[in-house]
Structure 1
Amino acid sequence: MADSIKNVAVIGASGNLGKEVVQELLKAGFKVTAFAREESTATFPPDVAVKKVDYRSVETLTAALQGQDAVVSTIATVAVGSQVPLVDAAIAAKVKRFIPSEFGVNTRIVEGTSIGKILQGKVKTLDYIIRKSQENPWFTWTGVSSGIFFDWGLKYGSVGFNKDAKTATIYDSGDEPVQASNLAFIGKAVVAILSQPEKTANQYLTIASFNPSQNQILKIVEEETGEKWKVEHVSTEEQEKIGLEKLSKGDYSAFSNFLRRRIYADGAGHAVLGDKNAVSLLGLQEEDLAATVKAWLRG
């Protein structure tokens, strides 16, 4: 582990991704501090220090960040705008590296899109971090786009496969490759970034465990279960229309509809193939799609 980064504060450490990031950091020998709201009842592993904070107060956040080398934010999309006081506090506390809550869609290329309207909190936060890094050269950042949370999405149905009912929802042709990462893999990427601070400073990285098409997943589940699954075909153009209707009413669940259009539409082109995938830069390897799907089926 690099001498320069040892103490890491994790924001959103009790969430789906946060838990995995904490586990991977601990395994790699980092000292982890979880930040939690005053009213939080979340519990953490015994070797994780916990600090209750007011995310609106730069002063109290600055005090809490004393001695921390890096901040990793895994908070949900709806709360990303609240990262600005955290950024200001990190700079005041002389934190060296900030990894904001990007994890998901690459927000650097959403300008002028429907999904970009919902992701403005992320876009503006990273713009702010980049500006602050230019003003304070010792304060560095790394952005990480991981695509969809694959193992989590299989478990909770957001990837479109239901193992109990043996049903699959396939968008458009189902042949478009999709950027996808398992949660622990994202945790390993965070570890790799913080272990190689010079190599990963002030970069926006796109990573993926793999880039499967929906039809590839369908083939695996049918072969593994020995049954044909019932398939429903859905248009991503229709998903876009549904999303716009929702958004016009202030319903931000439109994000799911826009996401389906963005990643599954034929010709979308958002898979991170070849050199686009930063796994080799980080010293990681792509994962085994079939093994992940089979583990879910057995679970």
Structure 2
Amino acid sequence: MSLPIKNVAVIGASGNLGGPVVDELLAAGFAVTALSRASSTATFPPNVAVKKVDFSSTSDLTSALQGQDAVVSLIATAAVGAQRPIVDAAVAAGVRRYIPSEFGINTREAAQHPVGKILAGKIGTVDYLIEKAKENPGFTWTGISTGLFFDWGLRFGSLGIDVPNKTATIVDSGNEKWQASNLHHIGKAIAAVLRNPDAVANEYIGTASFDVSQNEVLQAVEEVTGTKLSVTRVSSEDLRKLGEEKLAAGDFSAFLQLVRVWNFADGAGHALGANSANAKLGLPNDDLKATIKAVYS
């Protein structure tokens, strides 16, 4: 059994996911240090230590990570390919667990899908972690797929549901179930991994607040808000073609179309079901209607 993890360095702690993750790590009793760029003006809770770091310098990162038991990377998708120096610094500093910036669809499964081309940085980082863990037995990693950010996605319309404009865009039949997580659920999952690191050492796991379909979300949103939405139905094949055309032209806004195909297309098969790590992590599912009520209250 490995020593307990106490000190956790978080990279990207000021982003959309950062606040909820830091909150849940603090609530779980971890000592949290936020690593940020020298130019950053981000602020953090008073009980979070802050270290300014040159992320292009492995030596600077190694110094900053001294005494840390774990690193949680919340780096945005556009920068995830730049995690190798952080991984090298973590190994050099004696960090025992690295949680890479996954927190979305399962990139191990998506590697051969068109959306995988956009997620190449994430895929490469996990490949690199696998190598480093083999070379350094004291260094471990855990990849966590969470599916779509549910409460965040409702607020910003990325799930195809737009309550302010009273519209919904439903892909194919709308009955396909997909993996979805609220931001605080993701923070709880990270804390659970770090509380019991041996349970999921050098594993890629999936967690979710719930598996849900677009039609279930639409029905629940209409019931909770009392708002009838105007529904437009689109074909996943049309979305795929548009996404691939954009990608071929170097337009990475293709991600919106391709990730909707990945999740919502009839027969996609990316709900977690029995493959969820929630039971192993001791995590309950969230309540769909309670989540919707909190978003729109």
Same fold (TM over 0.5): yes
Match for residue 7 of structure 1? 7
Letter in 2 for 1:272: L
Matches within 5 A, 1:109-148: 109-148=109-148
1:117-166 Cα offsets, whole Å, 9 max, x none, are 11111111100001100110110000000000000000111111122222
Match for residue 195 of structure 1? 195
SS in 2 for 1:257: helix
Match for residue 215 of structure 2? 215
Letter in 1 for 2:289: A
TM-superposed CA distance for 1:223, in Å, is: 2.1
Letter in 1 for 2:170: I
Alignment partners' CA distance in 2, 1:158 and 1:297? 15
Q: Does 1:80 align with 2:80?
A: yes
Q: Structure 1 vs Structure 2: percent identity of aligned residues?
A: 60
Q: Give TM-score scaled by structure 2 length.
A: 0.97
Match for residue 174 of structure 1? 174
Match for residue 43 of structure 1? 43
4+ runs of 1 displaced by more than 4 Å?
none
1:16-75 Cα offsets, whole Å, 9 max, x none, are 111111110011110000011111111111111111111111000000000000000011
Match for residue 53 of structure 1? 53
SS in 1 for 2:178: coil
Alignment partners' CA distance in 2, 1:184 and 1:50? 22
Alignment partners' CA distance in 1, 2:198 and 2:47? 28
TM-superposed CA distance for 1:112, in Å, is: 2.2
Match for residue 292 of structure 1? 291
Q: Which runs of 5+ in 1 are unaligned?
A: none
Is the 8 Å Cα contact of residues 37 and 52 (structure 2) preserved in structure 1?
yes
Match for residue 102 of structure 1? 102
Letter in 2 for 1:223: E
Further displaced range: 108-117 or 98-107: 108-117
Alignment partners' CA distance in 2, 1:263 and 1:225? 25
Q: Which runs of 5+ in 2 are unaligned?
A: none
SS in 1 for 2:17: helix
- The number of residues matched between the two structures is 296
Alignment partners' CA distance in 2, 1:71 and 1:100? 8
Letter in 1 for 2:236: T
Alignment partners' CA distance in 1, 2:71 and 2:57? 16
Is the 8 Å Cα contact of residues 87 and 129 (structure 2) preserved in structure 1?
yes
Match for residue 161 of structure 1? 161
Alignment partners' CA distance in 2, 1:226 and 1:112? 41
Alignment partners' CA distance in 1, 2:3 and 2:141? 17
Alignment partners' CA distance in 1, 2:54 and 2:243? 34
Letter in 2 for 1:132: K
Alignment partners' CA distance in 1, 2:129 and 2:227? 50
